[in-house]
Every structure is written in structure tokens, then in C-alpha cells.
């Protein structure tokens, strides 16, 4: 799709979901750094997310995390989001922060704790009903630290039982996205360590169970774009949690560590049809901004995804296919690299102006005075942070 007008048309359809937790204070296990103007309530998180959409035009939904975003009236929370020009997207579960989950949640050897964890997962489906959400995001920290600590096969049986119960509870237009993670906080064995394990569980359950690819959750050197291509081919790619990593699950701004990898991923998304709305692939951010300004960090991440997508759309696919079929190794690679090396920032600035937006979203946000206003208004109360 090397035609610029066609690329612009495709980019106009792009939607990128931001996470509510990215707007709160965050840090490492050593220190959480407090910043000014941080939201204190789920409503204020949504207000901040609305600013990202206001200046980029492509971030119309915000993911929530339960119980971090727990409220008494979820319908009212959805109405607040609509009033601010956005919608509530994925509902994220949390079965990793309670003391009861030290030995696992749905795979815990204690059946009472397994029932407690499952009850929370089902509660989150109830919340989906109230806010009109399509996606339930499932991530489990379950695993073991020592060989022999628990029965590996039994834990897989328990996982399958819980997933089946959640699957049965989903509505006709709902689905769950099953995440995986190589390690942490379990260091010997994680119950859902990789895409293959997640895929196997989802395949057994049916079409409402999909795999989500978090770009920070793999071993160093993993070819993530291959995973994307495979899952798209099988109709099992539910979405992404976009972030960047240098060493482990760093949760940095997407494209910060390896923008070429992000481009390669988006190439496979476009090639496999995952960019089309009917495939249902959700493009979500999952990040913690420890030292950078929260809203600006989300805007920059959205822009990085836009740039990688634009480059992927610029690949001359007919020429690339011809070179591949002819076995022209260097020619095919040159076509691929030409697209990656294209400066797409002028194209995106032009597109924003055509849609009534400022060509530079970050400059527009800084000039809006929003940050100064919320710093003055958000006095007192408890600032939201990781785990709250």
C-alpha cells in the first residue's frame, strides 16, 4: 500500500487504547515516584485519557483495572467517559495483589482460594456488562519458585477449569484475552509462560478466547513478529499490550527500545489482515511511566505506534511479493528497509491537520494549559498509584 492517500485512509481508522494505570504514580520495587497533578480517582484517570484522545484523535478508549478502578456505580463511570469523549475499553482483572495469592490464584492448591479468585474474574464480567466492554483481560502471576513445590500438571488442570468457567459466563459479544509472561513474580515456573501455552488453552475453549501479546513478556531475542503472524493465521490474536523492554518487563514507552521491532510487528499485522476492524485485534498500551510525565508519555507512545503503522503501510507489497517469489533476498530486504527508513512524521502531521488536529500533539497538549490546571485542582486526597 505505497499510495499515500490510501495510507492516510488506513491511518484514519486506527484506534489505540490507553491504560488507566499509566496515569497514576508508578515506579519499581525500590521506589514509587510521586508527580504533580496525578489523578486521585478513576474519573480523573479517564479525564487524563481523554486528553490523549483529544490531541491524537486515535485513542478513544481507556482500559480499567479492578480493583484499582473500583467504583460504586460503573454505569455512571461509563457515562462519565462518554461525556469526556472516550469509552471504557478492556476490563483488567487482578488476582495477584492479595495475600491469599502468595501460592497462586486460580492454580492455588487451596480450593477456597481458587474459588475466591474465580469469583473476582466473574465479577469483572459483571462489570463488563455494566460498562459495555467487549474485552476481559486475564493475566495470572501464578507459578512456583522451586522444583517440586507443586504439581505442574495439576496446576494446568486448575487453570483450564477456571478459564472454562469464565468462558461460559461471557456474553455473546464478549471475549477474554489471555496474557502470558515468561517469568516474574514466579521465578522457577510460570503457569502461563508463553504464547503456546496461552494459545493451547484458548484453542480448546473456542472463539471467545483469544491470545494477547504483551511485547515485554518474552525471552531476550524472541521473534515476536513470528508469534503475531502465527496467531493471526490461526485467528487467535486478540490484541497487544504495547510497551518496550531492554532487559525484562520494563513497561517503557512502546518503540523506545527497538522501534524496528515495532515496525516488524506492525508489518505482520498489516500483512495478516489484523489491521482490519473485522479481525477484532485490539491495540492497547500497557505501560508504567515512572519518571516521565504521564499524559505526555501516553501521547508519545500513541505517536510511536502511529509511525510504525504508517511505515508498515508504506511497504510496496506487490514489489515485495515479487522479490520474495524470485528469491531476491537483497531486493526484498531493500524494499522492506526503504519503508522503515521513510520519515513518516510529515505525513502524520499532514493527516492530523486534515482531521482538524494540531500537527504536533505534544506541543498542543503543552500549550493547552491542562497540566497546570489539574496541578492546581488536584489538591488533597490520595493520588492514584501502582496498586491503587
Instruction: Tell me what the mean pLDDT of segment 243-257 comes to.
Output: 94
The residue written with cell numbers 501521547 in the block is: 299
Q: Reply yes or no on whether the pLDDT at 2 is more than 60.
A: no
Mean pLDDT, all residues of the chain: 96
b/e 367-381 (16+ beta carbons within 10 angstroms → b): eeebbeebeeebeee
**Three cell numbers written together for 6:** 490510501
Residue 344 · residue 314 · CB < 8 Å: yes
The model's confidence at residue 387, banded by pLDDT at 50, 70 and 90, is: low
C-alpha triplet 194, 195, 201: angle, nearest 5°: 100
Instruction: Tell me what the mean pLDDT of segment 145-169 comes to.
Output: 98
CA atoms within 13 A on the CB side of 198: 28
Q: Could you give phi then psi for residue 60, rounded to 5 degrees?
A: -80, -5
Does the bond joining 105 to the residue before it have cis omega, within 30 degrees of 0? no
**Three cell numbers written together for 16:** 489505540
pLDDT on residue 174: 98
Residue 52 · residue 39 · CB < 8 Å: no
- What distance in Å separates the CA atoms of residue 107 and residue 141, rounded to the nearest whole number? 10
C-alpha torsion sign, points 233, 162, 104, 29? positive
Instruction: Tell me what the mean pLDDT of segment 12-35 comes to.
Output: 93
Percent of the chain with pLDDT strictly greater than 90:
94
- Which residues neighbour 299 within 8 Å (Cβ) at sequence distance 6 or greater? 52, 55, 56, 361, 362, 365
The model's confidence at residue 29, banded by pLDDT at 50, 70 and 90, is: confident
Of the candidates 145, 150, 100, 102, the residue with the CA atom closest to the CA atom of residue 120: 100
User: Tens digits of per-residue pLDDT, 307-335?
Assistant: 999 999 999 999 999 999 999 999 999 99
What CATH topology corresponds to 15-314+357-377?
Answer: TIM Barrel (3.20.20)
pLDDT on residue 3: 79
Q: Reply yes or no on whether the pLDDT at 388 is more than 70.
A: no
Q: Reply yes or no on whether the pLDDT at 1 is more than 70.
A: no
Amino acid at each position: 500500500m505505497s499510495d499515500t492517500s490510501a495510507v492516510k485512509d488506513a491511518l484514519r481508522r486506527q484506534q489505540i487504547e490507553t491504560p488507566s494505570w499509566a496515569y497514576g504514580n508508578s515506579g519499581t520495587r525500590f521506589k514509587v515516584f510521586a508527580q504533580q497533578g496525578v489523578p486521585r480517582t478513576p474519573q480523573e484517570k479517564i479525564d487524563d485519557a481523554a486528553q490523549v484522545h483529544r490531541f491524537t484523535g486515535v485513542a478513544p478508549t481507556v482500559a480499567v483495572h479492578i480493583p484499582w478502578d473500583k467504583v460504586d456505580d460503573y454505569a455512571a463511570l461509563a457515562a462519565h467517559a462518554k461525556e469526556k469523549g472516550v469509552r471504557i475499553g478492556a476490563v483488567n482483572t487482578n488476582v495477584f495483589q492479595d495475600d491469599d495469592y502468595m501460592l497462586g490464584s486460580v492454580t492455588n492448591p487451596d480450593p477456597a482460594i481458587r474459588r475466591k479468585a474465580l469469583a473476582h474474574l466473574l465479577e469483572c464480567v459483571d462489570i463488563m456488562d455494566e460498562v459495555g466492554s467487549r474485552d476481559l483481560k486475564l493475566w495470572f502471576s501464578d507459578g512456583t519458585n522451586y522444583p517440586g513445590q507443586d504439581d505442574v500438571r495439576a496446576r494446568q488442570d486448575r487453570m483450564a477449569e477456571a478459564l472454562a468457567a469464565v468462558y461460559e459466563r461471557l456474553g455473546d459479544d464478549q471475549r477474554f484475552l489471555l496474557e502470558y509472561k515468561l517469568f516474574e513474580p514466579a521465578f522457577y515456573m510460570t503457569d502461563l509462560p508463553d504464547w503456546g501455552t496461552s494459545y493451547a488453552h484458548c484453542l480448546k475453549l473456542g472463539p471467545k478466547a483469544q491470545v494477547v501479546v504483551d511485547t515485554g513478556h518474552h525471552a531476550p531475542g524472541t521473534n515476536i513478529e513470528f508469534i503475531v503472524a502465527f496467531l493471526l493465521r490461526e485467528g487467535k490474536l486478540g490484541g497487544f499490550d504495547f510497551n518496550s523492554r531492554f532487559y525484562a518487563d520494563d513497561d517503557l514507552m512502546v518503540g523506545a527500545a527497538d522501534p524496528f521491532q515495532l515496525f516488524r510487528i506492525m508489518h505482520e499485522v498489516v500483512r495478516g489482515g489484523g489491521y482490519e476492524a473485522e479481525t477484532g485485534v485490539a491495540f492497547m498500551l500497557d505501560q508504567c511511566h515512572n519518571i516521565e510525565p504521564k499524559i505526555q508519555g501516553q501521547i508519545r507512545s500513541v505517536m510511536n505506534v502511529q509511525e510504525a503503522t504508517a511505515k508498515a503501510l508504506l511497504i510496496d507489497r506487490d514489489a515485495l511479493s515479487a522479490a520474495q517469489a524470485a528469491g531476491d533476498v537483497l531486493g526484498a530486504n531493500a524494499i522492506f528497509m526503504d519503508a522503515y527508513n521513510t520519515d513518516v512524521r510529515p505525513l502524520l502531521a499532514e493527516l492530523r491537520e486534515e482531521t482538524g488536529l494540531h500537527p504536533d500533539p505534544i506541543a498542543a497538549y503543552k500549550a493547552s494549559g491542562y497540566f497546570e490546571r489539574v496541578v492546581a485542582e488536584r489538591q488533597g486526597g490520595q493520588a492514584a498509584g501502582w496498586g491503587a
